[in-house]
Amino acid sequence: MTSILGISAFYHDSAAALVIDGKIIAAAQEERFSRKKHDSSYPYNAVQYVLSEAKLKLSQINHIVFFEKPFLKFERLLETYLAFAPSGFKSFSLSMPIWLREKLFQKKYLFDNLKEHDDHFNDIDKINFSEHHYSHAASAFYPSPFEEAIILTLDGVGEWATTTVSIGKKNEIKIIKEINFPHSLGLIYSAFTYYTGFKVNSGEYKVMGLAPYGEPKYKDIIVNNLMDIKDDGSFRLDMSYFNYATGLTMTNKKFSNLFGQPVRDPNKNPLTQFHMDIAASIQAVTEEIVLKISQSIASEYKIKNLCLAGGVALNCVANGKILKNKIFDNIWIQPAAGDAGGSLGAALAYWHKELGQPRDIFKDQMKGSYLGPSFNEEEVEKELKLLKANYKKVNSENLIEIIANELNKEKTIGWFQGKMEFGPRALGGRSIIADPRSEKMQKELNLKVKFRESFRPFAPSILIEDVSNWFDLKNESPYMLLVADLKKELQIQMSKEDQTLFGIDKLNIKRSSIPAVTHVDYSARVQTVHKETNPRYHNLLKKFKEITGCPVLVNTSFNVRGEPIVCSIKDAFNCFMGTNLDILVCENFILYKNDQDDSLKKNYQMEFDPD
């Protein structure tokens, strides 16, 4: 038996993954345990968890692989600072002490942290390093169902690369093209995230959500001034508009002057049509580049399968366009596409590349991405008693019947079942679910449950068997990473005026037969639900369809604004009691809000920093 522990840490999303004899055993992000969103510290809890799944001690692990190479990254930082000296000195002097203390000497630093798990761990040579984009590429290709594929990785930056194209064949991955820092699609998207007043590294999703409310009026300005895009999709940025290589912000005065408005201060300036148009413009540019790169590699290599990873691969609108344009026959996207997934990629890369092991190819090596902790009935009941919760225990069949009926009554439900998902999306393991046909649901969930901006759209879960009857989508989308349009016959027209007006009240207009999960342009970020990977959620959808004729549910992550998705029963109960959720279901236990002791209610609204 060969066990490999993959770790990603000290950058964005720390995580740990365990691979045994090439099989993915467990994977989780540190933020879920530490309750600190995007926690980038050493993932002590995540490592403890993956070890416990296999009942292994750290000293029994054969290989430990870190997801990137600290020295190469250090070299990139150093060279960047030198190239832009002296203007880069400020960020240089701020970041160097941390680098020297923690990152450059990472092997020893990692070793010391690893020893905390197990005193008997004493072999520093078990620690290995993968390359950042190689880890992303491995996370996208090895678990995919393809024997051969083109692998595209797109993110902010790793060591040097920001975009790579590789060919994966059997157990081999060869990087054939790359675009290097500072030319980065991830970073330019982040620059616009910053400019529109959202937080870099987490607000990118909001920019994408805002884009359909705007017109891409500034697309030409971006393409003509900020960058030079070649026919094959490769690009260079004009760095005189950006500050990220040298300063502490993403964009500079010249950038603001180009668009005519200063950086939005989220505390003072509300979102206006201008910001929606800016969002629409950078989204359009991103789509153009992703499409151009896809088209050029598809025709150059004549391979019909595409694998995607890296933070930009979470841009499900761009992913949906690759499908819609029929550039590839099949697409597989790593659900933990960001840096958390690098832990898994690093471990898989070691197994196949360093140890030369062949690949077993089957449909879903990621197991639906249900790779995190779960709790048995005994554990759930013990915890609920400790929390002083009032609950009812039912059998599985009754549970499905009861919850489907409550959903039909427009009740909002915390759905805590089985293993926690790996990656940023909740897929029916740690989800908040509701009736998508309800006209008030989007506003109510956003404002009273999630405590976030009312424009934020929700995503639909749909039975895989029904997906092509409801959406223009023939492919599976188990990881909620593809956007597709609602079928024409289900669309309900609204006036042009309504479409362009933006405001809380205007979101109440009926815009489709499932208004809570369709955007103003009738698109939706679809999750297909499969009985093989999540039979219980599949059953619930089936029952809901039986009662209502609708095989769709609203599925949003089980958390509030700024909070990591719930991991434990206690997290779920806290979130339930701190919000206006009506019902909490943990395995076969049902909790009604009205039955709970009022003194257990929490003011949860200000509990977390907005993300």
Long-range contacts, 114-120 (Cβ 8 Å, 24+): 114/47, 114/58, 114/64, 116/44, 117/44, 117/47, 117/48, 117/51, 117/57, 117/58, 118/57, 118/58, 118/59, 120/57, 120/59
* Among the listed residues 30, 31, 68, 155, the single contact to Fe ion using CB under 5 A: 155
Which stretch, 71-79, 149-157, 191-199, 483-491, contacts Fe ion (CB under 5 A)?
149-157
DSSP-assigned letter for residue 251: B
Which parts of 320-349 interact with Fe ion (CB under 5 A)? 339
Find the shortest distance in angstroms from Cβ 153 to Fe ion.
8
Find the shortest distance in angstroms from Cβ 41 to Fe ion.
17
Whichever of 155 and 587 has its CB closer to Fe ion, that residue is: 155
> Dihedrals φ, ψ of 555, to 5°?
-130, 115
Whichever of 164 and 523 has its CB closer to Fe ion, that residue is: 164
Find the shortest distance in angstroms from Cβ 555 to Fe ion.
26
Structure tokens that stand for 571 in this block: 């997290």
Residue closest to Fe ion, measured at CB = 155
Alpha helices in 185-252 (DSSP H): 185-195, 204-210, 219-221
Strand order of the β-sheet with 148-154 is: 172-180, 161-169, 148-154, 305-309, 330-333
Find the shortest distance in angstroms from Cβ 412 to Fe ion.
34
Find the shortest distance in angstroms from Cβ 446 to Fe ion.
29
Find the shortest distance in angstroms from Cβ 439 to Fe ion.
39
> What span, in angstroms and rounded, lies between the C-alpha atoms of 321 and 23?
32
Helices 70-84 & 89-98 angle (0-180, nearest 10)? 160
Burial of 361 (0-12, 13-18, 19+ CB in 10 A): middle
Whichever of 31 and 155 has its CB closer to Fe ion, that residue is: 155
Find the shortest distance in angstroms from Cβ 362 to Fe ion.
27
Hey, is 520 helix, strand or coil? coil
Find the shortest distance in angstroms from Cβ 310 to Fe ion.
5
Whichever of 339 and 444 has its CB closer to Fe ion, that residue is: 339
Find the shortest distance in angstroms from Cβ 333 to Fe ion.
14
Which parts of 19-58 interact with Fe ion (CB under 5 A)? none
Which stretch, 27-35, 143-151, 154-162, 190-198, contacts Fe ion (CB under 5 A)?
154-162
- H helices, E strands: number in the chain: 20, 21
Write the interaction track for Fe ion spanning residues 489-528; mark x where CB under 5 A is met and - where it is not: ----------------------------------------
Whichever of 311 and 373 has its CB closer to Fe ion, that residue is: 311
Find the shortest distance in angstroms from Cβ 11 to Fe ion.
8
Whichever of 180 and 408 has its CB closer to Fe ion, that residue is: 180
The dihedral built from the CA positions of residue 34, 14, 428 and 420, taken in this order, carries a sign that is negative
DSSP-assigned letter for residue 168: E
Whichever of 181 and 350 has its CB closer to Fe ion, that residue is: 181
Which stretch, 108-116, 150-158, 466-474, 540-548, contacts Fe ion (CB under 5 A)?
150-158
Q: What is the pairing mode between strands 305-309 and 330-333?
A: parallel
> Dihedrals φ, ψ of 5, to 5°?
-105, 120
Find the shortest distance in angstroms from Cβ 9 to Fe ion.
13
Whichever of 346 and 384 has its CB closer to Fe ion, that residue is: 346
Largest alpha-carbon pair distance within the chain? 69
> What span, in angstroms and rounded, lies between the C-alpha atoms of 124 and 257?
52
Do 549 and 542 contact (CB within 8 A), yes or no?
no
Which stretch, 147-155, 344-352, 476-484, 597-605, contacts Fe ion (CB under 5 A)?
147-155
Which stretch, 152-160, 323-331, 404-412, 594-602, contacts Fe ion (CB under 5 A)?
152-160
Write the interaction track for Fe ion spanning residues 227-246; mark x where CB under 5 A is met and - where it is not: --------------------
Q: Report angle CA 53, 348, 170 to the nearest 5 degrees.
A: 135
Whichever of 155 and 383 has its CB closer to Fe ion, that residue is: 155
Which stretch, 58-66, 75-83, 155-163, 439-447, contacts Fe ion (CB under 5 A)?
155-163
Find the shortest distance in angstroms from Cβ 343 to Fe ion.
11
Do 19 and 348 contact (CB within 8 A), yes or no?
yes
Which parts of 350-369 interact with Fe ion (CB under 5 A)? none
Write the interaction track for Fe ion spanning residues 263-292; mark x where CB under 5 A is met and - where it is not: ------------------------------
Q: What is the DSSP string of 3-34?
A: EEEEEE-SSS--EEEEEETTEEEEEEEHHHHH
Whichever of 338 and 428 has its CB closer to Fe ion, that residue is: 338
Find the shortest distance in angstroms from Cβ 12 to Fe ion.
7
> What span, in angstroms and rounded, lies between the C-alpha atoms of 112 and 590?
44
Hey, is 569 helix, strand or coil? helix
Whichever of 131 and 485 has its CB closer to Fe ion, that residue is: 131
Cα–Cα nearest to 528, from 492, 480, 562: 480
Whichever of 155 and 159 has its CB closer to Fe ion, that residue is: 155
Find the shortest distance in angstroms from Cβ 136 to Fe ion.
6
Whichever of 184 and 196 has its CB closer to Fe ion, that residue is: 184
**Residue count, binding to Fe ion (CB under 5 A):** 2
Asked if 13 is part of the footprint of Fe ion (rule: CB under 5 A), the reply reads no
Q: What is the DSSP string of 308-341?
A: EESGGGG-HHHHHHHHHTTSSSEEEE-SS-STTH
Whichever of 31 and 339 has its CB closer to Fe ion, that residue is: 339
Burial of 248 (0-12, 13-18, 19+ CB in 10 A): exposed
Residues that bind Fe ion in the complex, under the rule CB under 5 A: 155, 339
